[in-house]
Amino acid sequence: MTKQHIETLAVSHGFEIDKTGASNPPLYLSNAYKFQDAKHAEELFALKAEGYIYTRLNNPTNTVLEERINALEGGAGTLATASGHAAEFMTICALAEAGDEIVSSNALYGGTHNMFAHTLRRLGIKVKFANVADPLDFENLITDKTKAIFAESISNPGCEIPDFEAISAVAKKHKVPFIVDNTCMTPYLFRPKDFGADIVINSTTKFLSGQAAAMGGTATDCGTFDWNSGRFESFCQPDPSYHGIIWAKDFPQNAFILKLRAQVLRDVGACQSPFNAYLTLQGLQTLHVRMDRHLENTAKLVEYLKNNPKISWIKYPSIEGNPFRKTAEKYFKKGFGSVFSFGLKGGFEAGKKLIENAKLCLHATNLGDVRTIITHPASTTHSQLSAEEKIKTGVTDDLIRISVGIENIDDIIADLEQAAL
Ligand code: PLP
């Protein structure tokens, strides 16, 4: 069979129809799996045989989702987790410990920023934030304690885009893995591995499932990083919590993803519910069709907003003068995603009016849904922040974030118009 295209992989990869003839991957709601005999059980626990042990570690429905997303991202192995945040947190846990450092882009989803700036710091892992637009800034923050570089492929909601090849060159020079959170692009629009990422994170809660019915996340090991590079003792020494396994020596092709599953997921426990994996697989089958419509609607909405006298600014890479336009055009050949922000000339009151009067556009905090979602952070999620803090986080009083859905674009525009525009 020739190498399949991404649309075909999204529909069917990772599942072979069994003797029942059922065309959909079955939902296995079973926590336990009968071992064939004592030797089989021993081999499973020693990672010498493939099979199922206990659903916190693996599950046949989750396996289909893992293999499908792994194929979409071009990885060497993928792990499904309870949420996107769980994938990020466990990935860091697999790489770093107290005393270590991470260099992260400063253009991040607020929840990730919070985890990095506060929770990781409480655990003794220091995250240093670099200017997303300046690869040299990333390099300058690297020390001998650095264990990874982290960036979003396109940031939520600022649409800032790192120069992947330049940052990957920095990561390679200093022998640290480059982690890319691909949530807002999805592998249909952009494959981070092709531009130097070593580990790819997705929140499947968003576009990959598309229907806002199931939380989930994935971490994909691209199989590109050499864990023997000198910085990763925990990959090169016998692991006392796992029969003395040496992850980098015993599993050179996919050391990271095996360590993530067998050690970190085992201990942290943030596994994905097989029911959520089942639902996510249903959504994933239509990823490419939905993404094309998300992009088509976004292009029309941006054009409408550009010509609207009530709008003062739009942060989207296609806009003339946007500082990330060139980078976007270099890396994102199909389009720039469908999550962006814009400002209303009427400021705080106009923003509040828009979200209160919208009927079709959903006033909620999610993105990547088939429904159009709008938020006004200044009167909701960020209302407790001081004026100074709002400026620092980029949340101005006039900012509206929109995740453009797949409804008819005329209805989306009509709703925004009747609400305030
Ligand atoms: N990464 C990005 C870019 C996000 O926007 C989000 C959530 O909004 C996450 C990660 C976290 O994903 P989850 O909500 O599935 O934990």
Q: What is the longest distance spanned by two Cα atoms in the chain? A: 73
Q: Would you give the distance in Å from CA 299 to the centre of its chain?
A: 23
Phi-psi region of 15 (alpha: psi -120 to 50; beta: other; left: phi over 0): beta
> Do 323 and 133 meet the contact criterion of CB atoms below 8 Å apart?
yes
Q: What is the pLDDT of residue 392?
A: 66
Q: What is the pLDDT of residue 1?
A: 58
For ligand 1, the distance from its centroid to the CA atom of residue 258, given in whole angstroms, is 23
> Do 335 and 189 meet the contact criterion of CB atoms below 8 Å apart?
yes
Rounded CA-CA distance 80/364 in Å is: 25
Q: CA separation (Å) from 33 to 40, 78, 92, 118, 262? A: 12, 21, 30, 39, 17
Q: CA separation (Å) from 84 to 29, 338, 351? A: 22, 19, 29
Q: What is the pLDDT of residue 391?
A: 72
Rounded CA-CA distance 11/168 in Å is: 31
Best residue among 69, 81, 83, 85 to mutate for probing ligand 1, ranked by most atoms within 8 Å of CB = 85
Phi-psi region of 224 (alpha: psi -120 to 50; beta: other; left: phi over 0): alpha
Q: What is the pLDDT of residue 420?
A: 85
Ligand 1 contacts CB of residue 84 (under 6 A): yes
Rounded CA-CA distance 230/232 in Å is: 6
Q: Which atom of ligand 1 is nearest the CA belonging to 88?
A: 10
Rounded CA-CA distance 16/67 in Å is: 12
For ligand 1, the distance from its centroid to the CA atom of residue 382, given in whole angstroms, is 17
Ligand 1 contacts CB of residue 152 (under 6 A): yes
Ligand 1 contacts CB of residue 217 (under 6 A): yes
Rounded CA-CA distance 113/179 in Å is: 15
Ligand 1 contacts CB of residue 109 (under 6 A): yes
DSSP codes, 346-409: THHHHHHHHHHH-SSSEESS--S-SS-EEE-GGGTTTTTS-HHHHHHTT--TTEEEEE--SS-H
Q: Work out whether the CA dihedral 119, 177, 244, 218 comes out positive or negative.
A: positive
Q: Whose CA is nearest to atom 5 of ligand 1?
A: 109
288-419 CATH choice from 3.40.50.80, 3.40.50.2300, 3.40.190.10, 3.90.1150.10: 3.90.1150.10
pLDDT tens across the length of the chain (421 residues) = 568 999 999 999 999 999 999 999 999 999 999 999 999 999 999 999 999 999 999 999 999 999 999 999 999 999 999 999 999 999 999 999 999 999 999 999 989 999 999 999 999 999 999 999 999 999 999 999 999 999 999 999 899 999 999 999 999 999 999 999 999 999 999 999 999 999 999 999 999 999 999 999 999 999 999 999 899 999 999 999 999 999 999 999 899 999 999 999 999 999 999 999 999 999 999 999 999 999 999 999 999 999 999 999 999 999 999 999 999 999 999 999 999 999 999 999 999 999 999 999 999 999 999 999 999 888 887 777 677 767 766 788 899 999 999 999 999 999 999 998 7
For ligand 1, the distance from its centroid to the CA atom of residue 112, given in whole angstroms, is 7
Read off the pLDDT of residues 349-384 as tens digits, 9 standing for 90 and up: 999 999 999 999 999 999 999 999 999 888 887 777
Residue ranges, comma separated, of all CATH 3.90.1150.10 domains in the chain are: 288-419
Residues in Cβ contact with 8 at an 8 Å cutoff, skipping those fewer than 6 apart: none
The tokens describing 170, both together, are 């920095």
Q: Which fold has domain 6-282?
A: Aspartate Aminotransferase; domain 2 (3.40.640)
Q: Work out whether the CA dihedral 285, 287, 292, 293 comes out positive or negative.
A: positive
Phi-psi region of 375 (alpha: psi -120 to 50; beta: other; left: phi over 0): beta
Q: What is the pLDDT of residue 141?
A: 98
Q: Work out whether the CA dihedral 76, 81, 83, 85 comes out positive or negative.
A: negative
Residue ranges, comma separated, of all CATH 3.40.640.10 domains in the chain are: 6-282
Rounded CA-CA distance 47/358 in Å is: 54
pTM passes above 0.85: yes
Best residue among 69, 88, 90, 156 to mutate for probing ligand 1, ranked by most atoms within 8 Å of CB = 156
> Do 376 and 356 meet the contact criterion of CB atoms below 8 Å apart?
no
Place of tokens 């249903």: 282
Q: CA separation (Å) from 325 to 162, 252, 317? A: 11, 39, 5
Neighbours of 213 (CB within 10 A): 14
